[in-house]
Structure 1
Amino acid sequence: MPSSLSLIRLPALSIVDLVGADATAILHNLTTNDVKKLTNDSQPRLGLETFVTNVRGKCLGHVVVFAIENGYRMIGAPGVVATADNSGSTRQSQAIAEHADRYTIREDATPVIRDEELAAWMVIDGDDEPCQTTPPPSMTTQDDIDSYQLPWVKSGTLFLLPVETVADHPSLIAKRLGMEPESLTTADESDFHSHRVAAGFPWYGIDLTDAHLPQEADRETQTISFTKGCYLGQETVARLDALGQVQKKLVRWKLSELSAGTGPAADDKLSAVDAGEGAKPVGRITSVGRIDDQGEGLAMGYARRSHFEAGAKLAGNVGEVAYTAEVLPPVLGETPE
């Protein structure tokens, strides 16, 4: 295995299992992608990225779905969602579970929240460029550790293990990879988010909320099937596809001309280049990646329609330092059938 492998402990994720004889029908009716294509025949498991939409077509959840015995597992960020009566907020997993319950009448489908039962670890290969869809060559399959391939980073594997054995997890994961524990470099959550920004993956609760429409995340090719049939919120999603009229879109920016090692923060605003003082912002940063010693780096955020095409340049400031943010081409994925 390459020496660039790093091990990162993530905070408790949103993990919901939907189980029962009718789990496929219920999940099909609540998600934008064609979950019927999933099969439980690979290790580590390969998933399908999808949005969970409400009746208005807004993003109640953003998860990767995996087939499991007697149902499906939905894994996503530990983001929060506004409660149905707008009296507060709740965790993404809770919102999805309540949503599934609300639309299950006589069907056999039960949502089970697993957030607090499973500890989440990412093993990331910092040298690999393409989004990885197969396990590392030396990964063994002779044990029962749950591992998953997700598009969260360019190349990495998620491991979920019981929280009660957390002290043993690094050695168990190293064994799963055919390595010695000391061969894995320990990193922190900020490193994970730097890799995530490089891969262009939005984190629910940070880059994406229940106020957004699916197309605003600019991941149609990865998340939306326009041939799967009816689902909750489909009318809004289909109308936006036909009209092509989202007014803002999540983009990645290449940042340049910053001071070495310093960068913007979440919620900083960007303006059109050469815009006069007091001009209305046309971009808002939601996540910032690593900034190198040359003052270059990456960020994600929302750009207005006038400035969300690849190559569009915006301007920002960190203190007295002016910098440029150039929109990068989107990270492409497979188009759902």
Structure 2
Amino acid sequence: MNYQSDKVSFCDRSTWGILQFTGSDRLRYLHNQSTNDFNSLKPGQGCQTVFVTSTARTLDLATAYLTEDAVLAIVFPNRRQQLLKWLDGFIFPFDKVKLADVSEQYALITLIGAESPDLIQKLFDIDLKESPEGNHQLAIINDITLRIAVGSDLGLPGYNLIIPQENAATIRSLLVDNNVSEMDSDSWEQLRILQGRPAPDKELTEDYNPLEAGLWHTISFDKGCYIGQETIARLDTYNGVKQKLWGVKLDNPVSPETPVMVEDKKVGVLTSCTKSDTGLFGLAYVRTKAGGAGLTVKIGEATGELVPVPFISDH
């Protein structure tokens, strides 16, 4: 794994989807179709938001950036086509909103590491060190215009660079020339699990809702109606979250979808697993009544201990 927390690395995430929303109703539309409060945002700001079904089952966790005339949403690679079709189904003839898949037009490169703010300032002569996560602005280098956004999508210091596809190789070479090491997709996946960022088809499926996945920071409880709002509000009001996503330290490898057991009783399921420099680590949904941090569990042939993970929260 090439990532070192005290340095800076980059990961080419150009396989991820980028959806573009335009038209005068774009904010109202996204406000009504996902969990966060788009009406309170201004150009140059951004947020993480969750697209859910009418029963609050999770479709994807997206990162959205507001520009002067559009919203760009970064979505998981295997959710791109599904979301495009699903979202298009909620655009009616009188809506002034257009949805386009612009994934082929842009490359997405993510910088990660404690030195990334200094690197951004050195290369692009802009200071984003005190800017909130989600804030973004255009930068120009060697006649290339790109968008730089605060946040790595992993709860680690970093930035997303949205670059015209034809200029992506130049920016990658620039980073390498400045001694920035490249992470591959396997390293990204390892970091994702260690940080606890839920992923579609693993932690984010129609079996789970955003509160169970610990995505409280992506949800506005004051914004009013949106798809899935009634279910989420009811779960919050009546303490209805019956299972929760946890990190799990493991002593043996184990496959995802293996049941989590406590005293021969199934209390959850493992959703992801990876091997890191500090040992084996996984993510698992566990029933709240079974216990929390420090709980010892059996998962297949492995013994595990539940631990909190940085990306998610329990409220």
Alignment TM-score, normalising by the size of structure 2: 0.81
CA shift, 1:4, in A, is: 2.5
Show the counterpart of 1:163: 165
Measured in 2, the distance between the counterparts of 1:330 and 1:244 equals 23
Cα RMSD for the two superposed structures = 3.0
- Distance 1:3-1:328 versus aligned 2 partners, 3 A rule: closer
Q: 2:296, 2:303 within 8 Å by CA — same for their partners in 1? A: no
- Sequence identity (%): 24
Show the counterpart of 1:13: 16
Are 2:249 and 1:266 aligned? no
Show the counterpart of 1:313: 296
Measured in 2, the distance between the counterparts of 1:121 and 1:330 equals 22
Measured in 1, the distance between the counterparts of 2:117 and 2:224 equals 27
Show the counterpart of 1:102: 89
Measured in 2, the distance between the counterparts of 1:27 and 1:224 equals 13
Are 2:252 and 1:252 aligned? no
Q: Secondary structure at the match of 1:284?
A: strand
Measured in 2, the distance between the counterparts of 1:240 and 1:193 equals 30
Alignment of 1:275-314 (within 5 A): 275=263, 279-292=264-277, 296-307=279-290, 309-314=292-297
Are 2:235 and 1:240 aligned? yes
Show the counterpart of 2:135: none
Question: Partner letter of residue 246 of structure 1?
Answer: V
Question: Partner letter of residue 40 of structure 1?
Answer: P
Alignment of 1:169-184 (within 5 A): 169-172=171-174, 174=175, 181=177, 183-184=179-180
Q: 2:292, 2:306 within 8 Å by CA — same for their partners in 1? A: no
Show the counterpart of 2:32: 29
Measured in 2, the distance between the counterparts of 1:38 and 1:147 equals 17
Q: Secondary structure at the match of 1:17?
A: strand
Show the counterpart of 1:89: none
Question: Partner letter of residue 270 of structure 2?
Answer: I
Measured in 2, the distance between the counterparts of 1:162 and 1:232 equals 33
CA shift, 1:192, in A, is: 1.1
Q: Secondary structure at the match of 2:211?
A: helix
Show the counterpart of 2:56: 57
Instruction: Give 5+ residue unaligned stretches, structure 2.
Output: 127-138
- Distance 1:267-1:133 versus aligned 2 partners, 3 A rule: farther
Are 2:144 and 1:154 aligned? no
Alignment TM-score, normalising by the size of structure 1: 0.76
Give the counterpart of 2:201 among 184, 205, 225: 205
Show the counterpart of 1:116: 104
Instruction: Give 5+ residue unaligned stretches, structure 1.
Output: 80-91, 175-179
Aligned residues: 293
Question: 1:189-235 CA distances to partner (integer Å, 9 max, x unpaired)?
Answer: 11112222232211223321234222121121x11111011112211
Q: 1:147, 1:158 within 8 Å by CA — same for their partners in 2? A: yes
Are 2:308 and 1:328 aligned? yes
CA shift, 1:16, in A, is: 0.9
Question: Partner letter of residue 55 of structure 2?
Answer: R
